[in-house]
Structure 1
Amino acid sequence: MIITQHHSISTLVQEGRALAAAADTVSFDLFDTLLIRRIHDPDMVKPAVARYLSSRAARMGISKTWPYILKLRNAFEKEQRQETGLRFADQEARYPDYMGRVIEAVFGPQNDDRLLQELTDYELSLENAVLVPRVELAAWLKELKTQGKRLLIVSDIYLPASHLERLVAHAGLLEHVDAVVSSADTFLAKASGIAFPLLKERFGLRYDRWLHVGDNPISDGLRPQEHGITALVLRDGREKLRKSLAKRYCEYSLSQHFYRGRALQQLMLPLEAENISRHPLYVQGFNVFAPLFAGFIQGVAEHCLRSDIRRIYFFSREGWLFEQIWNEVAPRVFAGAELPKVSYLYVSRMALAPASCAHAGLDREHADIVFLPAGNRDFRDVCRVFGLQAEPFTPYLAKHELTQETVLSPAHEGFLMKNRIRFNEMLEEEEGFQAEVRRQTLPANQALLRYLEEQDFFQQTDVALVDIGWLGTIQRFLHRAIAHRKDAPRCHGLLFGASRGIPYPETPRNQLRGMVYDRDRFDAAASAMLANLDLFEEICRAPHPTLNAYRLADNEAGYELVFRRSDDAAAKAEQAHSEQFRPLQEGILAGAKQYGTAAALLGFTFAELKPWLNYLLLTRLAFPKTSEIEAIRQQQHLDDFHGQHQTQVPLTGNGLWERSAFALRWQPFLRTELFFRQIRMRLKGF
């Protein structure tokens, strides 16, 4: 018997249209015909479901590993198939039956089906996440519906028809078909051919007026033709190649950690109708920055679950995007686990700096931070950063032979070391200078504490503070502002990258850790992010202006968040740049969603994905193409911490991302030279 096979959808649909003219009924296979999976093996869903059950069990104090649960599932499914094989021609299984047994084996006898329903919902959500409709076949199915054909979807699978209907509905096809039929309901399948007489009787069909479309030469070709049903079989070579690539990367990943990230990104790729023309920045966000940021968020979640941290605060303007990425990644990757509660905290260096002095004063270490940016020069910059009025300090300055304009930064002309020594001596005056500092900054501290109390900050024993990086200045100021309170929680700073340009004052109650890069843990590849730190801030920038201050309100318990003006030239330039980067953020969020699904299926940890993240940093930050630099090169970076004074030291760097397009294209070995220069700096401890 000759089976009609087509190696492209277009030719199959073309012939199908001609054959359908003589048919009253058209039936379609579901998987690998109407819908394709991102994964090469349908069983890849099972370990993720086992991890979900293991996490649910752990929350109830039951210790069952996911491999044990997966083994139970496979054993119970096999047993049911053997039992049905004794009564029916097909060795079929039914999901609710054997998964109900798994639940009882793990959790004990159940009084209701609530847990089974939750488990089913999770597995079907995973299936929906990996299933994509074939565009041409879906369009043809809808066309057939308008012609008045009876349309059936028929599948040999362990999921009952009621479950399949949810998958078909998610694909947008349920309203166009008359029925969805599964072998799990009758244990009679297409594979033996018995399903076709059953359908004929159930729906009153005629074999000679019936067209069946599927992808299996036996179940969808030979068996229906044995009953006189016209059959078309799809043998899509391009789809087979895609699956073989995914399979190859997954096999490589078993022994080589580098390929774990590559396998993950293979599963993230858009398919069919998703694969449309996109803005180049969207593509860059999806392929490069989404894995970097989503991997970082996965690492944050792992750290919090491991350390039993139950509350996460996303920091500063970058935290706005990180919270959205968390919502896409964490619930998918850690389904079943009790994740920490998360919220976004309005903070900034400028707002926290005054509040940090209200009880601890302004010591030399924190005054030195002011002069890290080369644009800051004198005492007026100290006052600007720490929210101080300069005039009340005039007597203290005069006592130490200083003025508001005395140069205190070695980056500026007129600097004398003796003046810096005098300044440091002034900082040691507790009764005079420091008392005035505390008096002026106390209202900012009180407003901050009211804000934090409203955010339930002091009700926690441990909090994770998630930020982009780099020096940890925001966390430094925040912890200093709250350290006097007995109910201050332990602060666990989790940064995308910790460049640690200045030592961080770590204690058991105030710790800082760079997840993707940390200068204290040498990682040459990850240090590539130092080539352009500002770029990450610009990419992640929130749509709202930066926070300038915490201010007490008129009412007794109130406070106000004071944001930077959004109508000056600098702010408008920043807004225009953010608008330009909007496609980049859209790509990041779309990629994060796909990352969450792929990571849940593959089960790789952040540490196992780290080699691939390092590869992305190295290739896109240290060795990018000239076109990539020109597309996302820094254009507008607003830094209120940085003063406006002109300096002897050039304010612009001489790194790769500041070079001209001519140098980037025509200067041989430029990228290699600058990368190894950076490595030498790391080895020297800078």
Structure 2
Amino acid sequence: MTSNLINVGNFDNLYQTAMTLSANKEVVGFDIFDTVLRRKVEPEYIKDVVANYMMELLQLEGIVIDLELLRQKRRDLEIHLGTQSELKGEDHEFLYDDLIIGLYKQLPGLNEEKVEELYLKTKKFEIRLEKEALCLTPNIGNLLGDLKASGKKLFFISDMYLSIEMIRELLNHFDVEKYFDNGYCSSQFNKKKMTGKLFDYVLEVETINPSKMLFIGDNYYSDVEMTSQRGITAIHINDFNEKRRKSGLQLVEWSFKKDEFWSGKLIHHMIHDIPKRVQPGKSDDYDLGILVAPILVQFVEDLIEKCQVMNINQIYFLAREGKVFMDIYHEIIKNNPANKTYPNASYLYVSRKATFLPSIDSLEWGELNRFLHQYSTQSINSFLSNLNLPAHEYYEYAFKAGFKDFDVKYAHIEKNEQFRSFIEMLEVRTLFEKHQKQAKALFIQYLDEHQLFENEQVAFVDIGWKGTIQDSIAKAIEKEIKIPTIYGFYMGLLDSPMGTTNKSLKFGFFADFRNKNYIENVIFKNGSLFEMCTTPNHGTTIGYEFDGKKIVPILKNFEVEKENYKKYFEDVFKAINDYVKDYSDIRNLLFFRPAQNKLFFTDQIRRYILYPTKREARNFLRYSHVESFGIDKVTTYELQGSIVKELFKWPIHKGPSRIINLVRMQIWPEGVLKRSNIPFVNFVYDYFSTKRQ
């Protein structure tokens, strides 16, 4: 090691070392990449993204070219241009402009004007990518500012194919270009740091005494050996954590090229390695939001992709969970350098309760079975509430039908004589018809005011699981003069009694019952997780009214939901919002499809649902979820029932099977099992559950 070399073990120590060593220096030089600016992805990855963008531009010109072929052409041209420079006695270098223009010129059917146009678009796009892929290293802004304030001349010296002008634009983006007196780039002068020629050139042009210069960089050979040989004092940044981060990033990038599963992991690295807003560990609820956010984002990305393929120009996000998806949608389409066109987005205040009554043609059991097949136990009050009917107007007829207590629940009401008598009364049917017509008229007008009938096809977006709101809307509007084809997009889709028609189709992104994929279907094992994490802090829609100008929704708030939001889910929503903003910042760096990305993120959710930590399982006990249709209750997640009672019931030998059945009946069996503290019980349960499938 020479006396001109100082090692700095991490970025945190750089400031003090640099300020001390620069005391008797006149000039301080900086490497740029991995010194002043850190990378979220490697340069070769950037080239892959640019090649994908160029491929899209060429497709618009009627030129179809394979992505890998385009990348190979760029590699070959880089070698050719570098070799041409060497033949002139210079270093193996080339200008960015020559590279991109030369690449387009190799392709058939492009005239000079078109080549220039595509080159400028590509250059603009690549600069934007670099801005998203880079960030300032810790404390570098303070170091540059204080060195400048102390009277030092600051230069940047970089081996890079980008031009000085492009590097200055990058530095300006991070508000540090103002500190540099001058800059030198290998591509501009065909001289490299790694051969020492660029340093020789800088010393000569700037008439610098090497003993009066300090240089700071991370590459031992280019930034240290080459400067030390010339008598320049060098600080070698040898940050172990940064090296480990970069090694992990390189491994994931390599893995992604071998297996698309790792595309999601690469996104995870980009966001979490150098976090901008996300703060893992802030709270348990915040961490829950960080867990579910990637799945929500990829669902919205898939929605965008499908709408573009299917030429859908209008998206309706359905209350209440749809509010989160709409917010994600608006956030991620803001960062749109390619000026792509995205569908219009609207929020519909709807619910199962608000849409069911307008969708019923008559008070017949066949119609009622759409909710009774799942919720067949009802009282008169709950039955009327589910139909969204004013209960007090029906009490007289309920009393005549033999009901004494309107809150007493009956199982399988379709077989109950009192219920049958009540529903078949002429007065009840007449009253129902009046209320149904009123509800339907208001609902149709509400949809009309939101331009539903002005579109040939629309997208409905909700969390899932059966698409019953879509079913009700499709049925309510089926007799209108002009109705759109409805495409329902859901995170997860289960089968429903109404299924699909040629005017109402449904798709599940992470899980779709038609795929019969037990790995994806794991999200159905704890659907409450996603429902709670996407329920916004506004009430549920229970109907509609005319406010004198337009139709507005009637909302009902539940105190337990407000309390839950304030205690727990405000942090969950903050985490989702932070993640989405960080994702939006890197979105242009991504050229892989949501169907690829979901593989890794599904695996993360599978881990949480099937194998939660004790802390995760116990934290879930704090939550509750309000059910306001079918059954009116607040769902909680502690053990429902008693293991001890089931174990010692007669016959004793059937105790274990009764316990297994009890566990299966829980909303989240795996959480219950983890809280039992029985070793390996989650593994055993998962093994036998998988075997059954």
What TM-score range do you get, normalising by the shorter chain? 0.7 to 0.9
SS in 1 for 2:514: coil
CA displacement at 1:494 relative to structure 2: 1.1
CA contact (8 A) 1:135 1:273 kept: no
Counterpart among 564, 573, 582 of residue 563 in structure 2: 573
CA contact (8 A) 1:28 1:152 kept: yes
Runs of 5+ consecutive residues of structure 1 not aligned to the other structure: none
Match of 1:452 in 2: 447
Change (3 A) 1:527 1:159: same
Match of 1:109 in 2: 111
**Alignment length, in residue pairs?**
664
Match of 2:646 in 1: none
Counterpart among 160, 169, 172 of residue 169 in structure 1: 172
CA contact (8 A) 1:296 1:606 kept: yes
CA displacement at 1:462 relative to structure 2: 2.0
Within 5 A, what are the aligned runs for 1:631-650? 631-633=619-621, 635-644=623-632
Distance in 2 separating the partners of 1:680 and 1:512: 29
Distance in 2 separating the partners of 1:421 and 1:405: 17
Match of 1:45 in 2: 46
Structure 1 residue 146 corresponds to structure 2 residue 146: no
Distance in 2 separating the partners of 1:365 and 1:634: 40
CA displacement at 1:378 relative to structure 2: 3.2
CA displacement at 1:597 relative to structure 2: 6.7
Match of 1:612 in 2: 600
Structure 1 residue 467 corresponds to structure 2 residue 462: yes
CA displacement at 1:616 relative to structure 2: 1.6
Give deviations 1:532-551, integer Å, cap 9, x for gaps: 22221211122333323222
Match of 1:326 in 2: 329
Match of 1:559 in 2: 551
SS in 2 for 1:551: strand
CA contact (8 A) 2:298 2:594 kept: yes
Counterpart of 1:16 in structure 2: which amino acid? A
CA contact (8 A) 1:264 1:599 kept: no
Match of 1:483 in 2: 478
SS in 2 for 1:485: coil
Change (3 A) 1:328 1:115: farther
Match of 1:280 in 2: 283
SS in 2 for 1:666: coil
Distance in 2 separating the partners of 1:331 and 1:574: 31
Match of 1:587 in 2: 575
Counterpart among 501, 504, 518 of residue 510 in structure 1: 504
- 509-518 vs 274-283, which deviates more? 274-283
Counterpart among 535, 538, 550 of residue 544 in structure 1: 538
Distance in 2 separating the partners of 1:142 and 1:290: 37
Give deviations 1:389-448, integer Å, cap 9, x for gaps: 35666798799x565967996548x9954455556767xx8xx86665443233443443
TM-score (norm 1): 0.84
CA displacement at 1:490 relative to structure 2: 1.0
Distance in 1 separating the partners of 2:634 and 2:315: 40
Counterpart of 2:51 in structure 1: which amino acid? A
Match of 1:384 in 2: 385
Match of 2:248 in 1: 245
Distance in 2 separating the partners of 1:362 and 1:149: 86
Distance in 1 separating the partners of 2:372 and 2:79: 70
CA contact (8 A) 1:574 1:638 kept: no
Match of 2:655 in 1: none
SS in 1 for 2:321: helix
SS in 2 for 1:637: strand
CA displacement at 1:138 relative to structure 2: 3.9
Distance in 2 separating the partners of 1:101 and 1:656: 61
Distance in 2 separating the partners of 1:387 and 1:56: 53
Distance in 2 separating the partners of 1:332 and 1:678: 43
CA displacement at 1:668 relative to structure 2: 4.1
Structure 1 residue 35 corresponds to structure 2 residue 37: yes
Change (3 A) 1:497 1:393: same
Counterpart among 145, 154, 159 of residue 156 in structure 1: 159
Distance in 1 separating the partners of 2:21 and 2:226: 18
Counterpart of 1:641 in structure 2: which amino acid? F
TM-score (norm 2): 0.83
CA contact (8 A) 1:285 1:586 kept: no
Counterpart among 212, 221, 226 of residue 223 in structure 1: 226
Counterpart among 304, 307, 310 of residue 307 in structure 2: 304
Distance in 2 separating the partners of 1:338 and 1:57: 18
Change (3 A) 1:122 1:436: farther
Q: Which fold has the larger relative contact order, with Cα–Cα distance below 8 Å and residues 6 or more apart in sequence?
A: 1
CA contact (8 A) 2:382 2:632 kept: no
Q: Percent identity?
A: 23
Match of 1:532 in 2: 526
Distance in 1 separating the partners of 2:416 and 2:337: 55
SS in 1 for 2:243: helix
Counterpart among 185, 188, 212 of residue 185 in structure 1: 188
Give deviations 1:12-55, integer Å, cap 9, x for gaps: 5544333201111111001011222122x311011212222333
Distance in 2 separating the partners of 1:341 and 1:66: 31
Match of 2:650 in 1: none
SS in 2 for 1:513: strand
Distance in 1 separating the partners of 2:615 and 2:544: 42
CA displacement at 1:470 relative to structure 2: 1.4
Give deviations 1:352-405, integer Å, cap 9, x for gaps: 223323xx3455355234446769623433332333235666798799x56596
CA contact (8 A) 1:312 1:343 kept: yes
Distance in 2 separating the partners of 1:521 and 1:572: 37
Change (3 A) 1:327 1:116: farther
Match of 2:351 in 1: 348
- 610-619 vs 331-340, which deviates more? 331-340
Runs of 5+ consecutive residues of structure 2 not aligned to the other structure: 642-664
Give deviations 1:58-106, integer Å, cap 9, x for gaps: 4565544433433443344443333333346222222233323445647
Counterpart of 1:146 in structure 2: which amino acid? A
Distance in 2 separating the partners of 1:129 and 1:307: 30
CA displacement at 1:56 relative to structure 2: 3.8
CA contact (8 A) 1:534 1:637 kept: yes
